[in-house]
């Protein structure tokens, strides 16, 4: 975003002919010196959100120089118009871009010139102005979280969200058709039976704690899990609890 001020902060652009001429100058160099994303003509300064197609200094020089020339020729002004130099802020990311768009649009409201941004005639928030799109590198990436994808956004990086049909990326191993090696043996989780029962389809392996009986004796029994009989023979896994004397 670039900002430049009128000489001595005089309210030169409060007059509609001056403001209209400055807007016309901004659009004269659009697509040749820069892309124009947002702007506001305040009474004594301007803000413009641009993507330079030449050096930033040259782009600003075009605006200020042409306006000064036309103001003298068309408005009959011999006034010094611009402060020397300008200030600029390099947009970092999509959030920074959005903040500066909001700053530009709210500037007339904060100065109590209008109640709503679109009511101010000399800003890109006012209906009727053609603007360039948000630079591609600044468009926010859409992510799918536990609440599902944003409306109209392609589903990426998540499978089977919100009960919908499972989808997968073609460049992911989750996509059907890719041959993969098994999980390393040392990383396979051991399955144990607890009070909730064994996982469905898992082999029945467990350690049984018996409160009585000779230590080390084999234990054979039928075990019922979740109400269904499951025959399992457990040998050499018995651990007897006994009270110390």
**Per-position b or e across 161-199, b if 16+ CB within 10 A of its CB:** beeeeeebeeeeeeeeeeeeeeeeeeeeeeeebeeebbe
Q: Which secondary-structure segment (H or E) carries 39?
A: strand 34-41
Average pLDDT of the chain to the nearest whole number: 74
Torsion of CA 29, 34, 39, 42, to 10 degrees: -60
Same domain, 205 and 125: no
- pLDDT of 82 over the 70 cut: yes
Domain boundary residue, one of 112, 138, 164: 138
CA 65 to CA 71: how far, in whole Å?
10
- pLDDT of 101 over the 50 cut: yes
What is the mean pLDDT of the segment spanning 101-109?
97
For residue 45, tell me if it sits in a domain: yes
Same domain, 134 and 210: no
Same domain, 106 and 195: no
SS3 content of the chain, % helix, strand, coil (to 5): 25, 20, 55
What would the two tokens of residue 199 be? 């996982």
What is the mean pLDDT of the segment spanning 97-124?
97
How many beta carbons lie within 10 A of that of residue 38, not counting itself? 23
Q: What is the pLDDT of residue 89?
A: 96
CATH of the domain at 99: 3.30.70.1290
Domain boundary residue, one of 110, 138, 166: 138
For residue 164, tell me if it sits in a domain: no
Same domain, 8 and 115: yes
Range of the domain at 221: 189-240
CA 100 to CA 112: how far, in whole Å?
19
**Domain count along the chain:** 2
Q: Which residue has the tokens 């709503």?
A: 116
- pLDDT of 152 over the 80 cut: no
Q: Are 74 and 67 in contact (CB under 8 A)?
A: no
Same domain, 130 and 197: no
């Amino acid at each position: 975003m670039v900002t430049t001020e009128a000489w001595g902060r005089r309210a030169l652009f409060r007059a509609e002919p001056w403001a209209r001429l400055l807007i016309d100058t901004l659009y004269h160099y659009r697509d040749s010196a820069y892309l124009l994303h947002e702007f506001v003509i305040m009474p004594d300064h301007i803000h413009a959100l641009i993507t330079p197609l030449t050096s930033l200094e040259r782009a600003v020089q075009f605006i200020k120089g042409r306006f000064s020339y036309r103001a003298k020729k068309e408005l009959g002004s011999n006034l010094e118009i611009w402060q020397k130099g300008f200030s600029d802020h390099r947009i970092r990311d999509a959030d920074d871009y959005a903040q500066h768009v909001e700053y530009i649009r709210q500037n007339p409201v904060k100065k109590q010139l209008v109640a709503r941004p679109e009511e101010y005639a000399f800003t890109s928030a006012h209906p009727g102005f053609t603007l360039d799109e948000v630079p591609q590198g600044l468009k926010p990436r859409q992510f799918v979280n536990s609440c599902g994808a944003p409306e109209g956004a392609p589903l990426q990086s998540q499978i089977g969200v919100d009960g919908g049909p499972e989808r997968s990326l073609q460049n992911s191993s989750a996509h059907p058709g890719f041959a993969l090696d098994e999980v390393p043996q040392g990383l396979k989780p051991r399955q144990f039976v607890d009070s909730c029962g064994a996982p469905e389809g898992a082999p029945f392996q467990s350690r049984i704690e018996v409160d009585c009986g000779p230590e080390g004796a084999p234990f054979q029994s039928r075990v019922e899990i979740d109400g269904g009989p499951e025959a399992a023979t457990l040998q050499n896994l018995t651990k007897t609890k006994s009270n110390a004397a």
